[in-house]
Structure 1
Amino acid sequence: MTRPRVVVAGLGDSGLLTAIHLARADVDVVGVSSKPGLVSGQELGLRLARPADWARDYRIGFDRFRRLDRAEIVHGELTGLDPAARTVAVRDREIRYDVLVVATGVSNGFWRRPGFQTDADVTAALGSAHDRLAGSASVLVVGGGAAAVTTALQVACRWPEKRVTLAFPGRRALPQHHPRVWDVARRRLADAGVVLLPERRADVPDDFAADEITAGPVAWTTGGPATAADAVVWAIGRVRPNTGWLPAGLLDEHGFVRVEPTLRVPGAPGVFAIGDVAATDVLRSSARNRADRLLARNIMAHLVDRPLREFAAPRRRWGSVLGPERDGLRVFSPAGRPFRFPAWTLDRVLQPWIVRRGIYGGVRPGIR
């Protein structure tokens, strides 16, 4: 009897974990990725300030994941979906599926782009962004989310001689987190010498993609003089779903994939979606709340015609906001309370045991 084939379209953080769970089940898994390995969208600040440290934990070749040994990995760019024929197109190749997982994520700034990349392309992108900031005497970070906050803090800690400024549109940054998170983050930013500019909304065109590091000055629609800077990091949340390869009927008015609470896509039998591309809730929180395990269970239940479980979205964002610091890593709960992993545990406990062994199910050593 032929085993069902599950195609996971997109092997970023959410798609990779879903594929890892499914690879242990009685199905054939095919993962499609435009990248040569995991190139995580997490920890932008560390990526910019210390790219080698970031790459050790957030850039991992697919061949290093032990639980993907039974999966087929296709390195290519998705170009189309035929729900009636149950096939996806990857350049000039068509791949049949019994179940399809859409996990192609979003484009967001220079650090999350959908296009095809080789290992050399990824290395060049990491190096050029780091070098751009390293050669700048002043850095302005524009945005009020976690990506902006961690970038300002990590850059200021890496280069204390630079003038680092964080500008955000509200009275406080991190509006999607519990207020306690900003209380902690504000103190850490102040200790690092970051200049805070609240209630500053940048004057940018509607079609501005914010996908490169630019130079100042930056003008504000909320008043006040323009702010000069040698380098401007745009983290203003202008995400664009990577859904150009999908039929329009599967998308909502903003281009995200419509999903039921079970993460199933209505109107497309056998199709599910997860991660930032899935319109689960306002925060699209299936990307950050381990919905991958629930989705894998739902797919197996779907294949044997059993009831599916529903994803319950949290009301606030949570997790790591500041990135690894000298005294460790703070992980915030949805209630805004931080738990700190001491610095010595990051390389001895957190990454090797909790992340690589516990979450990924085993990662082979890489070449340093």
Structure 2
Amino acid sequence: MNETSHHVVVVGAGFGGLELTRALAGAPVRITMIDKRNHHLFQPLLYQVATTSLATSEVAWPIRHLLRKRKDVTTLLGNVTGVDRAGKRVLLEDGSSVSYDTLVLATGARHAYFGHDEWEPFAPGLKTLEDATTIRRRILLAFEQAERETDPATRQALLTLVIVGGGPTGVELAGTIIELAHETLRGEFRNIDTRDARVVLVEAGDRILPNFAPVLSDYARKALERRGVTVELGRAVTRLDAEGVVFGDKHLPARTILWAAGVAASPAGEWLGAPVDRAGRVMVEPDLTVPDSPEIFVIGDTAHVLRPDGKPVPGVAPSAKQEGKHVAATIKARLAGDSAPRPFRYKHAGDLATIGKWAAAIDFGWIKLTGWFAWWLWGVAHIYFLIGFRNRLSVSLSWLWIYFTGQRSARLITQGDNDKG
């Protein structure tokens, strides 16, 4: 590719960044993809790594491998620390910079603790592979430590696992962890019965899965409770430490606490000096550009985008992919001489959440599904969007093995220096 070609710099190789790059194939541009990790992560299945159902290699793929056939794309492993809007440069942590003609920030989100960042060491969130392996280690170590514990109260605290947040991630974690305790680990310990483990899902609102129709929220709550999960509604967490959690007026001793209650955008808004919402998402124009900088686009979880009804576009993979495709079309139109603004129009494909074996909830708006059929549809949809036949086959076989035998193969306890819990 000619060095004088229009240079598109994409920061972030998530769903939005990769879809943009894919859609620009054949366009008269050269692309530089920058990410602080060397892999693309299929985040909707990350909780299954955390709960021993899948291995890390089944939900993540090297970026260079995915883009190996794209000679127009250069991939850089680097940590972005700022953007020089006047000089049209992306600034990297090592002091270097990358110039751009068009910049696309697709840097995703991180977990947020609503002003209580001191809770993070005791309640890890789930956004990266490192988060998933940390959570997996804590869950499995809780059972190992309970096996050696002789004090009944301490043993019960070790066997109590709390998930804070009743959105899809919290619901999916709760359903899978209770199955891990009641089925997979049953009979493997001599001093404890893993079926005594208690899984508690704490949600500050009046129902779980708040973005779903109320009838589906009610179905999910009842499905979790039938499996043995305790669902606590209407009481926000007010304190959290290594000994347990306080919500409402109740203190619950628990040694394993997982955070699924909130997200905050990447620091892209700080890099740009652009207006942001309360979660740190950049308040973009209708065409996904930054105010006063039409050459800069922000997409995915980093962008605050409104639908025609005034509600924000949800931070899910389909919306990021739609935004990536839209920006690619805008770039190609501009290069063809059409600089007219192109407002983004989001098409909602529906909400999906699995509750456990043979149970899921799907809200397409015009139709709502629950039970085993919804679970199969949820599985087919996720397998379809995985990258590569080998990964689709591997995940399919792993799921079939789990759901017919109850056994999970990814139960290795790996050590990590960052685990402070």
TM bin (shorter chain):
0.7 to 0.9
Q: Which has the larger displacement, 232-241 or 148-157?
A: 232-241
Query: Structure 1 residues 83 and 174, CA, compared in 2 at 3 Å: closer, same or farther?
Result: same
Q: Which has the larger displacement, 236-245 or 162-171?
A: 236-245
Choose which of 170, 178, 184 in structure 2 pairs with 1:148. 170
Alpha-carbon contact 2:352-2:378 (below 8 Å) kept: no
The share of aligned pairs that are identical, in percent, is 24
1:198 maps onto 2:233 in alignment: yes
1:303 maps onto 2:332 in alignment: no
Cα deviation 1:34-60 (Å, max 9, x = unaligned): 11101343245323212634x344211
Shift of 1:154: 1.4
1:175 maps onto 2:197 in alignment: no
Question: Structure 2 length normalisation: TM-score?
Answer: 0.70
Work out the CA distance in 2 between the residues paired with 1:226 and 1:248.
42
Cα deviation 1:222-262 (Å, max 9, x = unaligned): 33x21222211122214243326613235456532121111
Alpha-carbon contact 2:49-2:133 (below 8 Å) kept: no
- Superposition RMSD on alpha carbons, in Å? 3.2
Structure 2 runs not aligned, ≥5 long? 112-123, 143-158, 183-194, 395-421
Query: Structure 1 residues 155 and 240, CA, compared in 2 at 3 Å: closer, same or farther?
Result: same
Matched residue, 1:73: 75
SS in 1 for 2:354: coil
Shift of 1:175: 1.7
1:39 maps onto 2:41 in alignment: yes
Question: Rg bigger for which structure?
Answer: 2
Matched residue, 1:187: 222
Choose which of 125, 133, 139 in structure 2 pairs with 1:133. 139
Matched residue, 1:157: 179
Choose which of 90, 114, 117 in structure 1 pairs with 2:92. 90
Alpha-carbon contact 1:51-1:127 (below 8 Å) kept: no
SS in 2 for 1:219: strand
Alpha-carbon contact 2:212-2:351 (below 8 Å) kept: no
Choose which of 127, 142, 165 in structure 2 pairs with 1:112. 127
Q: Which has the larger displacement, 230-239 or 283-292?
A: 283-292
Choose which of 280, 304, 324 in structure 2 pairs with 1:292. 324
SS in 2 for 1:132: helix
Alpha-carbon contact 2:205-2:233 (below 8 Å) kept: yes
Matched residue, 1:231: 256
Query: Structure 1 residues 146 and 298, CA, compared in 2 at 3 Å: closer, same or farther?
Result: same
Matched residue, 1:15: 17
SS in 2 for 1:184: helix
1:217 maps onto 2:244 in alignment: yes
Matched to 1:189, the amino acid is L
Work out the CA distance in 2 between the residues paired with 1:176 and 1:252.
20
Work out the CA distance in 2 between the residues paired with 1:182 and 1:169.
14
Give the total of aligned pairs. 339
Matched residue, 1:211: none
Matched residue, 2:416: none
Alpha-carbon contact 1:79-1:90 (below 8 Å) kept: yes
Shift of 1:332: 3.2
Choose which of 364, 374, 377 in structure 2 pairs with 1:333. 364
Work out the CA distance in 1 between the residues paired with 2:367 and 2:165.
20
Work out the CA distance in 2 between the residues paired with 1:97 and 1:164.
49
Structure 1 runs not aligned, ≥5 long? 114-121, 206-213
SS in 2 for 1:17: helix
Alpha-carbon contact 2:201-2:229 (below 8 Å) kept: yes
